[in-house]
Copies of this chain bind each other. A is one copy, B any other.
């Protein structure tokens, strides 16, 4: 199966094989070494010397951790939403009692850093800015460095959902002054879902003392306390740690600059291939993501039917629209273990299927 959704991503066979290792004591010396080693290997991808906490949860759990560990009920936050996952970040903050000022950008566009600056001047009490680096629902990558420059000057914390960018797109946690940076195992890391990573700046640690939103499972200070003993507060998903440990071999052999280059190239290849089929790209070309590409479906094409045909006839799995965009698009993942031939196979299939449909006879159109 050619799994071309924006996560979970395909995993190298050696990574999958590592999942099968027998269980160990999660409070013994072997796990302590494993936890320390994984943390060390995460740091270069985050471009940070700060702590990175590894949580047993989906990426959404890390988003909740970012919010609840740094804020108090009633705190004002600026939520930059360019799609489904931006909304989710805002929703989490609102669920825990933050007053959320939403900067909602039309789907397909990136946030405007200048507008972020204006909104921060308009709401000087904002304690934290929530931003999605790479929005998989729309296939757009925000200009995180420019946004971070504006936020840093204004003063609030910057909480970054980098779940679908980190390990595929360059991000510099320390140099850009990011306070909390989140990722998750099933993206560019080429590991199955179930682990989330939270990079925590020294400033983020210091504000936690006063943050009063309730938290327990996702309490980062508790995670740090246990990490110093080589443990996690609750039982960790050991198999996924085994897999992550092996995935680093592949990531580091290719090297981070090479990985970023490959994602840039494959992003361009995907977009140009789709354009050559006469298809309409959904994302603003200036901010098109190099981990996921979105295509607006030609009118009369059923998303559900096309997904089914691609899966059943070609063994290619892509994603459809999310949230309010359901039914209107294809979302094509090209992050982690992906090569040009994976995309070529999809382009070939789309050429056959959408070509057919565009010149469909009335009988065929009635069937679709």
Contacts and interface: CB of A to CB of B under 8 A. Distances in A.
Given A1-B24, A10-B22, A28-B311, A58 B236 contact: yes
Interface in A232-253: 233-240
A47 interface: no
Contacts of A95: 214-216, 219
Contact of A194 (B186, B194, B317): B194
A239 B192 contact: yes
Interface in A74-116: 91-92, 95-97
Nearest to A163: B235
A49 interface: no
A3 interface: yes
A213 interface: yes
A234 B91 CA distance: 14
A60 B22 contact: no
A365 to B, nearest CB: 25
A301 B234 CA distance: 28
Integer count of this chain's copies in the complex: 2
Contact of A217 (B23, B27, B64, B239): B64
Interface residues of A, number: 55
A313 interface: no
B96 A56 contact: no
A238 B56 contact: no
A216 B60 contact: yes
A5 interface: yes
28 contacts: A3-B22, A3-B23, A5-B27, A8-B24, A8-B25, A8-B26, A8-B235, A16-B22, A19-B20, A25-B317, A28-B311, A56-B194, A58-B234, A60-B216, A60-B235, A61-B217, A64-B217, A92-B217, A95-B214, A96-B216, A186-B235, A192-B237, A192-B238, A193-B235, A194-B236, A214-B214, A217-B218, A237-B240
